[in-house]
Chain A
Amino acid sequence: MEEQELISRSQAGDIEAFNQLVERYQRLVYNLALRMLGNAETAEDAAQDTFLSAYKAIGKFRGGSFKAWILRIAANVCHDKMRAARRARVASLDDLMEELGDFIADNDAESPEDYTLRRELGRFINEGLTHLPEDQRLVVILCDIQGLSYEEISEATNSSLGTVKSRLNRGRARLRDFFLQRRELLPAEFRQDK
């Protein structure tokens, strides 16, 4: 079924049609929450809250990219969760890092050594992401991990194209500095001494 038809039926109260939209976007939303929040359980909560909120607000959706719209809701939910965590200091950075290595997909074909390396790399990159300011992190994740275009990011973050470019530029540069300061942890092919 076409996405537009699913949206129209969802707006008319068809929960099955809405759930088909959930099936299409849940991986995207969950991954965004996971990278933004750095905690699997909170990311799960955030993803569920996103779809509940989207279900409530679908009547107000007035066209455009549904993907950008749902990601905007997800970004708002993540922002709320982070603010709440900051206030309560629910998890220290160390607690957070304990879990970060698990955020990599399973691949049965690889050797245990490769798995360990990949796990370490995932932990390392996630640690770098957590060092970015929230607005830059969101743009970097959407562009370099989720693969959204600048226009889609602009819509999802409700900011201008210029702001997106600027945040992406600064986010990448900051992340690059983080990686270079820990060069010894990079995979061999990236470990060129400059």
Chain B
Amino acid sequence: MFPGMRKARCRKVREMLSEYIDNLLGAEDRGVVESHLEVCEACSNELESLQMTVQLLHRMPSVPVPRSFAIREGKTDREEVSEPRGSGWLRPVPVFAVSRIGSGWASVCDPQRLRWLRPATAFATAALVLLLMLDFLQVVPQQGGIDSREVFNESPAHVMLSPAPGGEDTLEVSGDEPVEVLSPPVPAPADKTPTGGADSDELVVRDANGGEEEVSAEPSGGWPLRQIEIGIGVVLLALVAVMLFARRRRRSWSRV
């Protein structure tokens, strides 16, 4: 027989060896395998080693269960049971897995159930960085009404508050132009519909020439960037804390 043909025959026989060991080959294939084994020492050795492997595996005994896995009545609602193939990031924790002493935290810290943590943290970080950049570049108009740049650029001196003879507080700007800050306006009478004067925190600023200007301290319709930044920062810290806690828990339980 040519070496190539012999090799092909060996390959074909070796593919059938598992079925031959399990006694599942038909009479014809069985005859083919046995006649080849008589003349091929390599395939014969292959068969012997595979038989040894199967015999070793057969020696593995069945281990008794450590406890009953019966479902307890009243404890398990069909709706509470987790899906085996479920891969949702909010996959419910099985009732028994949590309640069982010794593996409760291990189940809660199951990485599959907490796998939303990493993308959520990444998202929060990216959002925070973006907001900080927007804030720094001042691309988005901010809430708050008074543009600090305008106030401080146009009134570059320090401001002193001193009591005025009439009982009103007077803001004095060091320099040429003293500016009076009047008390908040008197609330509008009940029969009048307030148009913002009574409800809004408005300051009336009068300059030295007697001209008045109302400055609203109410949100001016811009983005509350600072509040959003603080909010996302807090969420980010919480996510990192949960992630670190879960990691520590997983490590400690894996050593049990």
Binding site for B on A (CB under 8 A): 15-16, 18-19, 22-23, 26-27, 29-31, 34-35, 40-41, 44-45, 47-53, 55-56, 73, 76-77, 80, 83-85, 87-88, 90-91, 95, 103-105, 121-122, 125, 140, 143-145, 150, 165, 168-169, 172-173, 175-176, 179-180, 186, 190, 194
Q: Is the CB of A41 within 8 A of B64?
A: no
Q: Is the interface of B mostly helix, strand, loop or mixed?
A: loop
Contact partner, A87, options B52, B82, B111, Cβ 8 Å = B111
Which of these binds chain A: B55-63, B128-136, B197-205?
Answer: B55-63
B88-106 interface with A by 8 A CB criterion: 94-97, 102-103, 106
Q: Is the CB of B60 within 8 A of A49?
A: no
* CB pair B84 A45 closer than 8 Å: no
Shortest B24–chain A CB gap in Å is 7
Taking Cβ atoms with an 8 Å cutoff, the residues of B that contact A are 14-15, 17-19, 22, 24, 45, 49-50, 52-71, 73, 76, 78, 81-85, 87, 94-97, 102-103, 106-107, 110-112, 115, 250, 254-256
Contact A48 B94 (CB under 8 A): yes
CB distance from B39 to the nearest CB of A (A): 18
- Known contacts A122-B60, A168-B18; 6 further A-B pairs (Cβ under 8 A): A41-B102, A41-B103, A49-B94, A80-B85, A80-B112, A85-B111
Sampled A-B contacts (20; CB under 8 Å): A16-B73, A22-B68, A22-B71, A23-B68, A27-B65, A41-B103, A44-B66, A48-B96, A49-B82, A53-B84, A55-B76, A76-B85, A80-B84, A90-B254, A105-B64, A169-B17, A169-B18, A176-B53, A190-B52, A190-B56
CA gap between A87 and B112 in the complex, in Å: 8
A55, B71: Cβ atoms closer than 8 Å: yes
Q: Do residues A44 and B67 form an inter-chain contact, with CB atoms below 8 A? A: yes
The interface residues of chain A lying within 8 Å CB-to-CB of B45 are: 194
Closest to A39 in B: B254
Which residues of chain A come closer than 8 Å to B14, judged between CB atoms?
169
Q: For residue B50, which residues in chain A have a CB less than 8 angstroms away from its CB?
A: 172-173, 176
Q: Which 7 residue pairs are nearest across A and B when measured between Cβ atoms?
A: A88-B111, A144-B57, A84-B112, A56-B81, A53-B84, A105-B61, A19-B70
The answer on a CB contact under 8 Å between A52 and B82 is: yes
CB B63 to nearest CB in A, in angstroms, measures 6
Are B84 and A125 within 8 A (Cβ)? no
* B54 cross-chain contacts in A, Cβ below 8 A: 144, 172
Q: How many Å lie between the Cα of A105 and that of B250 in the bound state? A: 28
What residues of A have a CB within 8 angstroms of the CB of B78 in the complex? 55-56
Nearest CB in chain A: distance from B49 CB, A: 5
A142 to B73, CA, bound (A): 31
Q: Could you say which of B53, B66, B82 contacts A40, with CB atoms under 8 Å apart?
A: B66
Given the complex, which residues of B lie within 8 Å of A122, measured CB to CB? 60
The answer to whether A48 touches B64, judged by C-beta atoms less than 8 angstroms apart, is no
User: What's the Cα separation between A48 and B94 when bound, in Å?
Assistant: 9
A6 to chain B, nearest CB (A): 13
A83-B112, A165-B18 known; A45 vs B69 contact (CB < 8 Å): no
| CA–CA, A77 and B81, complex, Å | 13
Contact A165 B19 (CB under 8 A): yes
Is A95 a contact of B254 with CB atoms below 8 Å? yes
Q: Is the CB of A49 within 8 A of B84?
A: yes
Identify A180's interface contact among B49, B55, B58, B85, CB under 8 A.
B49
Residues of B within 8 A of A15 (CB): 71, 73, 76
Are A31 and B81 in touch, CB under 8 angstroms? Answer: no
Q: Which of A29, A165, A186 has the most CB of B within 10 A?
A: A165
Alpha-carbon distance A50/B17, docked complex (angstroms): 34
Once bound together, how far apart are the Cα atoms of A91 and B50, in whole Å?
A: 31
Q: Is there contact, CB below 8 Å, between B103 and A45?
A: yes
Q: Are B52's CB and A76's CB within 8 A?
A: no
Contact assessment for B254 and A30 in the assembled complex, using a CB-CB cutoff below 8 Å = no
A85 to B85, CA, bound (A): 16
| CB-CB under 8 A for A52 and B52, given A22-B68, A150-B24, A168-B18 | no
Complex CA gap A49/B50 in Å reads 35
